[in-house]
């Protein structure tokens, strides 16, 4: 028989739980590609889901180091623990979850989950915290906080308080990172007579040099290596699809940074082109290139191939593709290949892309020498018939 | 009915009841549940309940005993994946699980990330999303495994959205991930989510759903559609057994009845399965039986097709000959479902129409106007019709109809 004191026994019990929990979390974190460690992760998740609610902060903390698959296993355990605890009318460690939420060193996804737990068990407290998230690293917390700012601005507009509503919309715009909110706020600001530089707000790159068209007959140009993939020589001249081609300027004045190649290179089909620009970064460190493109495309950053996609005319939007990069302070070189297919339907005319540089929240990282957003740029003729050759 | 006979062959392999609705378009993709007795003379009183959903979705609900399972997606980026379990009796929520998408979530605005319909063996739920995330949960909501197929194969996505639904072939989950770029179909081991096989498929967008064409103790054949036609593959190896190369839809899906595969191809084509390694035989082809976004419905020896103008055509399944045709009120994105002598059609604006298929020229018997947006296909289970809009799940049926509860495994 043991002669341990009740306190010691209790401490040992808690230590045993923590040890088991650490092992289960460690197993879950090993989930990887193509179902790697799925089976052991399932067993560990089932065991972890039996943890007492007091362990929730530790499991939330494990989200800080999990990949996106493992995060879902952990979340499954967390949801199960919460459902079981609340069904038993027992309490959650609200204070610890609240502290976890407010510590911005924790992963944005984990903090958002902590917030949603708080909305279930302490909705008043969660609502009180929400306005403080307008500049939060969590995009979702920020989104909801910006909704409050927009509602406040809308109310001021409704009550005809023009100056106050203008100020409120400006505050909302400064915080907003999601396109739907930015669209709404920009529309309101413009209606109030304010100038809004959306390309600058988003961080779109608006000044490019482009060259083409090169051949993309039968879509072979997507894989073909044309000279700009080997060198970026501003004064070079190459054999294009139908004639000699040289680098020329392409600007974008579009709110969403769309660089339209048709008016610059001619509206033709089965072609490809390259666009390049120098981005002078104010900082060194991780960032995202966010691309939108409905044509086939490839992208290189500082000479390194990042990704390519041979999908044509299935739609494009801001931030369609998020490409993590590490910025060098100072000069960084971007090269984008944009391919056009043979389809001549009206909705396949676009030959364009949009690209911005931002952090993980979508906050623009503006180049040190960012030129003013162009007031205008060449437009494609709305009635011009596309030529296949 | 042959389809029901085939389905009953499959039942011993699963834990399901014949009255369950376990996949997109129900047994064999027939969209038919002959054993369910649903009211034909619909009135508003037949709306038993409506239950709010936490996000968007056009996936169909599954009906397993006295429980319903449905998916949804939410969030500013539609990257929250929801799986819900509700009571069939009153629509109350039993559990909900959320997951974070690992793949791209962009879709055409008309569809959303929760477009694929889950499937089940009666013990587990297999849910797929447009982000190419595939989840296996038990019926209590516990995660068994998860795959991020765009995470594994980065160019597997469609900027318009993915919509094919997975189907179960024994202990293999067959899921087409067909798109303009990294296009494939995959057979996933249901036990741990690992690949049994992965085959290259035509580089083209494809939203159709596979269907099982034959199943024995040792072998299951699954029909994968594409613009080229139908490729019938072994569910264990992914190897092609035979093919129909007469073209096919990439939107609507084939339906199976006995030894005949009804393919949305040049209208509709009835293909007799080959025997002993022979070639498939085209029994009939009818270019007038256009399918638009709806898939053909098989019921009581008849085939029903719904074209883009809302014309519902009833034909003899044996030879494709016309029985009747009827103008209904569209527009539609969904496939009708059938029970007894009635078909149920929900248009995009929320008008549910019951069609009396036994009437000499067919007839719209009654309707209910939900005044809600419906893109997804209804499900039938245990004497009720279940429909989901972007916001609600609805139960339609006799209020007195008992829910067939059965012990859960």
- CA B157/CA B180 separation, integer angstroms: 8
Q: What's the gap in Å between the CA of A311 and the closest CA on chain B?
A: 5
Place of tokens 């990439």: B250
Q: Percent of chain B scored above 90 by pLDDT?
A: 87
SS3 B10: helix
Range(s) for CATH 2.60.120.260 in chain A?
A: 202-358
Q: Percent of chain A scored above 90 by pLDDT?
A: 91
Domain boundaries, chain B: 2-396
Count other Cβ atoms within 10 Å, centred on residue A94.
14
* A79, A143, A317 ranked by CB distance to B76: nearest: A143
Confidence of residue A3 (pLDDT cuts 50, 70, 90): low
Q: Chain B: residue nearest A222 by CA?
A: B181
* B98, B154, B195 ranked by CB distance to A79: nearest: B98
- Assess whether pLDDT exceeds 50 at residue B10: no
- Assess whether pLDDT exceeds 90 at residue B399: no
Cβ–Cβ gap A72/B75 under 8 Å: no
Question: Comparing A138-142, B101-105, B212-216, which segment has the lowest mean pLDDT?
Answer: B212-216
- Assess whether pLDDT exceeds 60 at residue A266: yes
Question: Comparing A176-190, B85-99, B212-226, B332-346, which segment has the lowest mean pLDDT?
Answer: B212-226
* A46, A79, A314 ranked by CB distance to B205: nearest: A314
Cβ–Cβ gap B100/A311 under 8 Å: no
Interface test with B, best of A315, A317, A342 (most B CBs within 10 A): A315
Q: Chain B: residue nearest A306 by CA?
A: B154
Q: Chain A: residue nearest B146 by CA?
A: A69
To the nearest 10°, report the CA torsion of A124, A129, A131, A135. Answer: -160
- Assess whether pLDDT exceeds 60 at residue B108: yes
Cβ–Cβ gap A314/B181 under 8 Å: no
Residue A389 has what pLDDT? Answer: 41
Rg (CA), chain A: 26
Residue A15 has what pLDDT? Answer: 61
Q: pLDDT of A136-158, one tens digit each?
A: 999 999 999 999 999 999 999 99
- Spell out which residues of chain A touch residue B152, defining contact as CB-CB under 8 Å: 33-34
Residue B97 belongs to what H/E stretch? strand B93-100
Confidence of residue A9 (pLDDT cuts 50, 70, 90): low
Work out the mean pLDDT of chain B and round it to a whole number: 92
Q: pLDDT of A10-30, one tens digit each?
A: 555 556 556 778 999 999 999
Residue B215 has what pLDDT? Answer: 78
- CA A82/CA A91 separation, integer angstroms: 9
Contact (Cβ atoms closer than 8 angstroms) between residue B255 and residue B28: yes
Count other Cβ atoms within 10 Å, centred on residue B102.
24
Residue B189 has what pLDDT? Answer: 98
Residue B97 has what pLDDT? Answer: 97
- CA B2/CA A78 separation, integer angstroms: 46
- Assess whether pLDDT exceeds 50 at residue B6: no
Residue A14 has what pLDDT? Answer: 56
Task: Output the six-digit token pair for A384.
Answer: 């011009």
Residue B12 has what pLDDT? Answer: 39
Confidence of residue A2 (pLDDT cuts 50, 70, 90): very low
Cβ–Cβ gap A35/B181 under 8 Å: no
- Spell out which residues of chain A touch residue B125, defining contact as CB-CB under 8 Å: none
Task: Output the six-digit token pair for B110.
Answer: 């008309």
Count other Cβ atoms within 10 Å, centred on residue B56.
23
DSSP assignment letter at B28: G
- CA A297/CA A311 separation, integer angstroms: 8
CATH superfamily membership of A202-358: Galactose-binding domain-like (2.60.120.260)
- Assess whether pLDDT exceeds 50 at residue A94: yes
CATH superfamily membership of B2-396: Quinoprotein alcohol dehydrogenase-like superfamily (2.140.10.10)
Interface test with A, best of B146, B195, B203 (most A CBs within 10 A): B146
End-to-end CA distance of chain A: 91
Residue A19 has what pLDDT? Answer: 72
Q: What's the gap in Å between the CA of B330 and the closest CA on chain A?
A: 25
Which residue spans within B150-228 are E strands per DSSP?
167-169, 172-177, 184-189, 195-200, 211-215, 220-226
Residue B404 has what pLDDT? Answer: 52
The full length of chain A comes to 389
- Assess whether pLDDT exceeds 60 at residue A36: yes
Q: Highest mean pLDDT: which of A12-16, B210-214, B272-276?
A: B210-214
Confidence of residue B275 (pLDDT cuts 50, 70, 90): confident
Q: pLDDT of B363-382, one tens digit each?
A: 999 999 999 999 999 999 98
- Spell out which residues of chain B touch residue A68, defining contact as CB-CB under 8 Å: 100, 102, 148, 151
Q: pLDDT of B282-335, one tens digit each?
A: 999 999 999 999 999 999 999 999 999 999 999 999 999 999 999 999 999 999
- Assess whether pLDDT exceeds 90 at residue B11: no
């Amino acid at each position: 028989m043991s002669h341990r004191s009740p306190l010691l026994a209790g401490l040992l019990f808690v230590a045993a739980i923590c040890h088991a929990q650490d092992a289960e979390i460690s197993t879950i974190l090993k989930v990887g590609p193509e179902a790697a460690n799925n089976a052991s992760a399932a067993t560990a998740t089932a065991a972890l889901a039996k943890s007492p609610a007091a362990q929730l902060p530790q499991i939330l903390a494990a989200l800080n180091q999990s990949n996106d698959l493992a995060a879902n296993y952990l979340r499954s355990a967390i949801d199960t623990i919460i459902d079981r605890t609340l069904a038993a009318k027992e309490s959650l460690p609200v204070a610890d979850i609240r502290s976890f939420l407010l510590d911005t060193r924790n992963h944005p996804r984990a903090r958002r989950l902590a917030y949603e737990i708080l909305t279930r068990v302490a909705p008043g407290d969660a609502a009180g915290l929400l306005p403080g998230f307008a500049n939060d690293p969590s995009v979702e917390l920020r989104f909801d906080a910006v909704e409050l700012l927009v509602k406040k601005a809308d109310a001021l507009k409704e009550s005809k308080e023009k100056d106050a509503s203008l100020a409120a919309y400006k505050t909302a715009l400064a915080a907003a990172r999601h396109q739907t909110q930015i669209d709404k706020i920009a529309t309101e600001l413009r209606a109030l007579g304010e100038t809004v530089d959306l390309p600058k707000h988003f961080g779109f790159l608006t000044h490019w040099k482009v060259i083409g068209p090169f051949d993309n007959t039968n879509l072979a140009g997507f894989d073909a290596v044309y000279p700009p993939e080997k060198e970026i020589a501003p004064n070079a001249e190459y054999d294009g699809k139908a004639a000699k081609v040289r680098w020329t300027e392409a600007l974008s004045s579009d709110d969403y940074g769309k660089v339209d190649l048709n008016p610059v290179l001619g509206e033709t089909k089965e072609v490809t082109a390259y666009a390049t620009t120098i981005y002078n970064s104010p900082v060194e460190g991780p960032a995202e290139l966010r691309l939108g493109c409905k044509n086939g495309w490839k992208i290189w950053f500082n000479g390194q191939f990042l990704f390519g996609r041979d999908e044509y005319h299935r739609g494009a939007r801001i931030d369609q593709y998020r490409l993590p990069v590490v910025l060098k302070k100072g000069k960084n070189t971007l090269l984008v290949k944009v391919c056009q297919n043979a389809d001549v339907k009206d909705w396949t005319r676009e030959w364009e892309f949009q690209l911005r540089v931002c952090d993980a929240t979508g906050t623009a990282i503006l180049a040190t020498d960012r030129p003013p957003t162009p007031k205008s740029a060449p437009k494609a003729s709305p009635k011009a018939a596309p030529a296949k050759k | 009915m042959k389809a029901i006979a085939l389905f009953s062959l499959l039942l011993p392999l699963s834990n399901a009841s014949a009255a369950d609705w376990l996949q997109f378009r129900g047994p064999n993709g027939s969209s038919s549940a002959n054993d369910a007795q649903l009211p034909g003379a619909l009135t508003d009183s037949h709306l038993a309940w409506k239950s709010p959903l936490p996000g968007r979705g056009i996936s169909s609900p599954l009906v397993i005993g006295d429980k319903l399972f449905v998916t949804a997606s939410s969030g500013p980026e539609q990257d929250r994946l929801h799986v819900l379990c509700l009571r069939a009796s009153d629509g109350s929520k039993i559990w909900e699980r959320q997951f974070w998408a690992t793949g791209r979530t962009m879709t055409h605005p008309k569809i959303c990330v929760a477009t694929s319909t889950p499937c089940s063996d009666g013990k587990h739920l297999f849910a797929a999303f447009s982000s190419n995330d595939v989840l296996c949960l038990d019926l209590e909501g516990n995660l068994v495994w998860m795959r991020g197929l765009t995470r594994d194969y980065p160019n597997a996505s469609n900027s318009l959205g993915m919509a094919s639904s997975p189907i179960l072939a024994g202990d293999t989950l067959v899921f087409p991930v067909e798109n303009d770029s990294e296009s494939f179909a995959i057979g996933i081991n249901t036990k741990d989510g690992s690949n049994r096989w992965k085959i290259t498929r035509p580089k083209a967008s494809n939203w159709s759903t596979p269907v099982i064409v034959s199943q024995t103790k040792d072998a299951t054949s699954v029909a994968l559609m594409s613009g080229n036609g139908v490729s019938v593959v072994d569910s264990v190896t992914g190897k092609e057994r035979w093919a129909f190369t007469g073209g096919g839809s990439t939107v609507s899906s084939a339906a199976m009845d006995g030894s005949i595969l009804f393919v949305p191809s040049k209208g509709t084509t009835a293909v007799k399965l080959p025997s002993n390694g022979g070639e498939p035989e085209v029994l009939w082809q009818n270019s007038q039986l256009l399918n638009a976004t709806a898939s053909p419905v098989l019921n009581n020896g008849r085939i029903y097709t719904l074209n883009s103008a809302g014309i519902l055509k009833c034909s003899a399944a044996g030879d494709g000959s016309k029985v009747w045709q009827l103008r209904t009120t569209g527009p539609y994105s969904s496939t009708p479902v059938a029970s007894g002598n009635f078909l149920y059609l929900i248009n995009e604006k929320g008008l549910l129409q019951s069609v009396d298929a036994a009437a000499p020229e067919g007839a719209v018997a009654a309707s209910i106007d939900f005044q809600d947006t419906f893109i997804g296909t209804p499900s039938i289970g245990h004497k009720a019709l279940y429909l989901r809009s972007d916001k609600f799940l609805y139960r339609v049926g006799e209020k007195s109809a008992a829910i067939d509860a059965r012990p859960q495994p």
